[in-house]
Structure 1
């Protein structure tokens, strides 16, 4: 039985699927987030620990003969790609030729479209617009990271909510945390004291902050107008990514990918409203790790 290992590494978790040649998944799981931002020895050590933890879990179910991995923040034909391929090859005792590593959007795109067929708009912890041409040329918009942009992402939504609450609190003490959004956010943070908020925000990672976006969705569901405005603005930010690619490529079908689109329907509604052209919008979940695993099972 030939097995392939598919890996989908995002900002909140690294999901893996062990897949047979016929496409059947025989084992699955997740480990900590794995990133392609291997810009220091410490980052490489952390990546090695995560890969080793994943290998321990995977090898309990079987030995993959090939690996296809989509990893957030990784660019092909860079030192980081070579490092990641080496880490995976060593952990699973595979030759480099048996390990294919690319950015996570490469795998996600092929989960929805044939080459050149459509546009992928991703909003999870971060956000990006992505197109993969028939000759495998990548055109991306956004995806600059939360320090520069990532408009409409889970991190962006959470940051905008925290900013709104804290600014209101500064201007009119007691009115920021007493709103529905403020109350929901305080429950998730563990309190309203600045030391509590600061420890949560600056003591964790971007994935942990991005998960607060669900709190904004809960507040919007309960009628909080600030939360509703933030979610609509997120949809507008994500539509900007699609429109930028429309201008460069011409309109074509769009797939909405990532957990942020599941936070509240307002995001998708605002996205569709602000598109420059009427196109088919696909809003169904596809298992990118499973797609990668099926490709990996074909490696020879």
Structure 2
């Protein structure tokens, strides 16, 4: 039976799916975040270890015929792409011509649209506006990382929430952590002591910080006005990405995807209101890893 392995590697986790030749998912799992930022031998070794761990689980089902992987931070036609493909080939003992690796947005885009058909705005740990033309040229808006922007992303949402709570605490001691948003963050952080908060924020990676966005969503569901305002602003930030792309490629259907865009309906509502041109708006969830797995099952089948 032909099996395909599809991988959707984001800043918080790496999701993988195995599909058979009929497109049915026969296995799935998650592993540590896999990044295309292979800027050092240590980074390459970490990527290899993550792939080795994944392979141990996948090979219990069977050896995949092909692999398609969308990996955050990976740009096609770069040394990192060649290195990543070589690691997959070595670990899974598969010819490199049966392995396709690209940035995660490449796979996500094709999960929603045909080439050149629409505009994808994605909000996970980071955020990006993405367009893949009919001749496979990419136009990116945003996606420059949390140190520069990533407006409307999980990291951005978490940062804005922490900032709001801590500023309230500075102005009125005891009132920041006592509001609903503060309590949600306290539970996620494991406490409110500054040394603990500082260690969580500065001792982890962007994915760990971005995971705090879930606490903001929970506080919004409980009616916290500060959390509601932050998620509404997140929607506006994400709409800016769509508007910038529409200005360059023309009006097209827009898909809003990613876990951070699903934290609360207010994100999508603010996003829709922020679109400058009325277009078809898609909010349905698509499993990018499964899409990749189905395609991988047919890679060079002959």
**TM-score interval, normalised by the smaller of the two chains:** over 0.9
How far apart are the structure 2 equivalents of 1:148 and 1:284? 29
How far apart are the structure 1 equivalents of 2:17 and 2:215? 29
How far apart are the structure 2 equivalents of 1:281 and 1:265? 14
Deviation at 1:225, TM superposition (A): 1.3
Deviation at 1:171, TM superposition (A): 2.2
Match of 2:159 in 1: 159
Say whether residues 1:258 and 2:265 are aligned partners.
no
Deviation at 1:181, TM superposition (A): 0.9
Residue deviations 1:158-209 (CA, integer Å, cap 9, x gap): 0000011111212222221121111111111111110110111122221121
Residue deviations 1:121-164 (CA, integer Å, cap 9, x gap): 00011100000001111011011111111100011000000011
Say whether residues 1:81 and 2:81 are aligned partners.
yes
Matches within 5 A, 1:138-149: 138-149=138-149
How far apart are the structure 2 equivalents of 1:293 and 1:192? 43
Corresponding residue SS for 1:246:
helix
Deviation at 1:212, TM superposition (A): 0.9
Deviation at 1:13, TM superposition (A): 1.2
Say whether residues 1:68 and 2:68 are aligned partners.
yes
Residue deviations 1:13-65 (CA, integer Å, cap 9, x gap): 11111111221122111111101111112111111110000011101110111
Alignment TM-score, normalising by the size of structure 1: 0.98
How far apart are the structure 1 equivalents of 2:51 and 2:194? 36
Size of the aligned set, in residue pairs, is 300
Alignment TM-score, normalising by the size of structure 2: 0.97
Match of 1:207 in 2: 207
How far apart are the structure 1 equivalents of 2:250 and 2:229? 30
Match of 2:38 in 1: 38
How far apart are the structure 2 equivalents of 1:18 and 1:112? 20
How far apart are the structure 2 equivalents of 1:174 and 1:16? 44
Matches within 5 A, 1:214-253: 214-253=214-253
Root-mean-square deviation (CA, aligned residues, Å) is 0.9
Match of 1:280 in 2: 280
How far apart are the structure 1 equivalents of 2:147 and 2:10? 17
Q: Which runs of 5+ in 2 are unaligned?
A: none
With 134-143 and 173-182 compared, the bigger mean Cα shift is at 173-182
How far apart are the structure 2 equivalents of 1:223 and 1:100? 45
Corresponding residue SS for 2:57:
helix
Moved over 4 A (4+): none
How far apart are the structure 2 equivalents of 1:16 and 1:221? 30
Say whether residues 1:130 and 2:159 are aligned partners.
no
